[in-house]
């Protein structure tokens, strides 16, 4: 467990299970997502803070790095050939970006209904509605949702392409995302629709933001492949 030095921490917050969060992560800072209790799912969208039409691209991220899941050493690409965030550390080992978060239909089919009127803030919330709510705060709409990342959700694929779900069970598991560009991070902590738990049991997520110090030459993502060296060049050139 790599502890972050206290004096480098800019802020820290716990997002309760089933809620949403967003933050403009500045270039040169790092975001640690911690699965506090084990079993969290953090469905996450990424946008260039200065130009929201530039956003995370699942396909470009996977293609450039010949992978189908995400962990340390993988860069998260925008649809403009630039690296938004670097995964510089990860104790989970595998995060999904090929499946969708929950929506009102999947929630209803799986959990039934708990409404606000009867259950107040224990009502059931879903990932799609949470993401629409959160992006709306930045002038965006459902049009601006795109293929997202499900941090801490592990999806296994067999030889025929069939999927199976596995979540992180270990409390304290974390992933470190260093911003290579100013990046609007939008996420929610609703359970993944393929979660094998048939009860609605969302888990909390800790977000910690601190001053990043991982230099380009030491960045495991930059070192991974020639594709990433070009991706980082594109990000660097964007700010020239």
Please report, as ranges, the residues that interact with another protein according to CB under 8 A: 53, 55, 57-60, 62-64, 66-69, 77, 79-82, 94, 98-100, 103-106, 128, 141-148, 156-163, 193-194, 227-228, 230-231, 233-234
- Identity of the residue, 32 or 148, whose beta carbon is nearer to another protein in the bound complex: 148
- Identity of the residue, 32 or 55, whose beta carbon is nearer to another protein in the bound complex: 55
Number of residues assigned to the chain: 240
In angstroms, the CA 75 to CA 73 distance is 7
Quote the DSSP letter at residue 90: E
Least Cβ distance, residue 126 to another protein (angstroms): 10
- Identity of the residue, 170 or 229, whose beta carbon is nearer to another protein in the bound complex: 229
Which residues does 79 contact at the CB level (< 8 Å), separation at least 6? 54, 55, 56, 57, 60
In angstroms, the CA 80 to CA 48 distance is 10
- Identity of the residue, 184 or 209, whose beta carbon is nearer to another protein in the bound complex: 184
Least Cβ distance, residue 29 to another protein (angstroms): 24
Least Cβ distance, residue 236 to another protein (angstroms): 12
Least Cβ distance, residue 50 to another protein (angstroms): 15
Give me the DSSP letters along 195-211: -S--S-----EEEEEEE
CA distances from 239 to 23, 181, 210, 218, 233 (A): 20, 9, 21, 21, 10
Least Cβ distance, residue 158 to another protein (angstroms): 6
- Identity of the residue, 99 or 133, whose beta carbon is nearer to another protein in the bound complex: 99
């Amino acid at each position: 467990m790599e502890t972050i030095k206290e004096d480098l921490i800019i802020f820290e917050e716990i997002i309760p299970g089933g809620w949403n969060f967003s933050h403009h992560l500045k270039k040169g800072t790092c975001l640690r997502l911690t699965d506090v209790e084990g079993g969290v799912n953090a469905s996450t969208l990424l946008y260039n803070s200065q130009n929201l039409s530039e956003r995370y691209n699942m396909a470009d991220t996977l293609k450039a790095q010949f992978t189908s899941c995400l962990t340390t050493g993988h860069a998260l690409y925008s649809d403009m050939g630039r690296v938004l965030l670097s995964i510089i550390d990860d104790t989970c080992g595998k995060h999904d970006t090929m499946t969708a978060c929950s929506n009102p239909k999947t929630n209803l089919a799986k959990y039934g209904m708990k409404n606000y009127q009867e259950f107040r803030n224990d009502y059931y919330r879903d990932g799609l509605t949470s993401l629409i709510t959160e992006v709306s705060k930045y002038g965006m709409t459902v049009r601006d949702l795109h293929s997202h990342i499900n941090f801490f959700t592990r999806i296994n694929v067999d030889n025929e392409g069939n999927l199976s779900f596995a979540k992180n069970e270990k409390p304290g598991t974390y992933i470190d995302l260093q911003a290579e560009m100013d990046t609007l991070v939008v996420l929610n902590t609703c359970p993944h629709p393929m979660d094998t738990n048939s009860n609605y049991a969302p888990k909390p997520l800790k977000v910690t933001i601190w001053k990043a110090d991982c230099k380009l030459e030491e960045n495991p993502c930059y070192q991974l492949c020639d594709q990433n060296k070009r991706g980082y060049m594109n990000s660097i050139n964007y700010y020239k």
